[in-house]
Structure 1
Amino acid sequence: MELIADHVSVAGLHGPLLLPTSLTAGPGRVTLVAGDPGYGHVALALALGGRAPLMDGVVTVDGDASEALRRRHVALVDVPDVTAPEGALSVRAAVAEQLALAGRPASRAATRAFLAGHGVEDQGERFESLPPSTRTTLLMRVAASRAATRVLVVAAPDRLGGDPTDWYAAAERLAAEGLTVVVQVTHGTARQLALPATYELGVAA
C-alpha cells in the first residue's frame, strides 16, 4: 500500500503539535522521516494511523482518505504513551499483550515460542531492560504479524539509545517482505545511519 501525507498538521491545546508535513511511502522500502525529538513524532504517527484529527492536510492509503482504512491497515509501533509497552512488565507479559492486540495467539506457550524464535532467552526480565535493537525488532515483528497490517509506522525508536543499525536492518527486511515501512528518527540518527532524510517533520513539499 502507498501511504501519502499531504501538508498534514495536527493541533494541540496550546499550539500545533505537528507543523505541515508531507511524505510518500511505498511498499518494499523504508521511508525515513527526520525531525527534532518531541511531540511531533507522536502526532505524525497518530495522523498517519488515522488516530488523530487533522488540523489541515490529508493522509491517504492507495488514494483513500478513510481514517477507518488507515486504522485497519497501519500499525503504530512503539509510539510513546500510545502503543509503547509498559517498561516495568516482564518481557513475556509485554510481548503477550502486544500479540493479543495484534490478534495473534498470546498464551504462555505461544509467547514463549515467539520470543525464543527471536533469540530472547530471559523472558522474565523487565521489558525496559531489553537492548533497544531487540525491543524495536520484537515490536515491529509483532505488529507485522497482524493479518491486516500493510503499513508499519515506527515512532522514534532512537529515543532509547543504542546502535540503530540492527533495528534499521530489521525494518529493511520487513519492507522486503512487501510492507510499507515508515521510520521516524532524529537528524542525528539519520546521519549515524548514513542515510538521507528524505522527509522531515514540519516540511511540506
Structure 2
Amino acid sequence: MYFFYGEDEKAYKSCYNGVKKAYPSANYKVVAGYGHLTYSIKNTADYIDRIKSVCEGNIATGGKVCDCTYISKNIASKEEFQEYEKRGDARRDKLVKMKDKIIYFLNLIWTSIIAFSFPICFELIFLDITGHSKGYSYDLGSEKDISILLGCIELVIWSILALPSIFYVFRKTKIKGIRYLFLIIAVYLALSLICIMIMGGFLSYLKEVFNI
C-alpha cells in the first residue's frame, strides 16, 4: 500500500498520523511546499515516474523527498526514509508542545485575573441572588425577583467564563505534580486576598457581603 502527500495539503496535516498508525507497514512519500494535487500538476513527469515505480514495486528504493527546509534529498532505502519521518515527527511534536505551553500560559493568566476579581464577582452575584443588590438596608420590594434573576444570569456567565479555564489549568498542573497544583491554588487565594484588602479589608468585606 502506498501513500503520497503534499506537506501543505489538509489531508497530510489532519490525517497523516492516523493513517500511519492504521497502516504502519505501508509506504509513504511526503513532499514539502506542495498542496493538494499541486505536485502532480507542477511536476507531471516526475509524478508519472513515481506512479510507474509503484507499479514496478520500486517505491522504497527511489524517488525524491523534500525536507522542511525544501532541500531535496535522495532516499536510498526504506530505513533512511523512516529515519527522515522520525525527524519530521519530532519537529511536529515540538510544535505541539510549544502550542500546549502557549495555551497553558494564556489560561494561567486568565485564571489569575479571575482569582483576583473573584471577591468582587462573588459579592455582586451573591447580593443579587439573595435579593440585596442595593444593600441590606434597602428593601427592593417588587424588584427582588429581578435582582434574583440577574444574579442567576451573572452566575451562569461567570461559570462559562471561569470554570473551563480553571479546570484546564488544574488538570494540566496536576500532571506536573500535586505540589505544583497546591502552589497554583495558593497563588489564586493570595490574589483574592489582595483584592479583598484593596476593597477595605476582610472585616469590611464580610459586612458588605454577609451583613455580619
TM-score (norm 1): 0.19
Higher relative contact order (CA 8 A, sep 6+): 1
Larger radius of gyration between Structure 1 and Structure 2: 2
TM-score (norm 2): 0.19
Q: Which has the higher helix share?
A: 2
Q: Which has the higher strand share?
A: 1
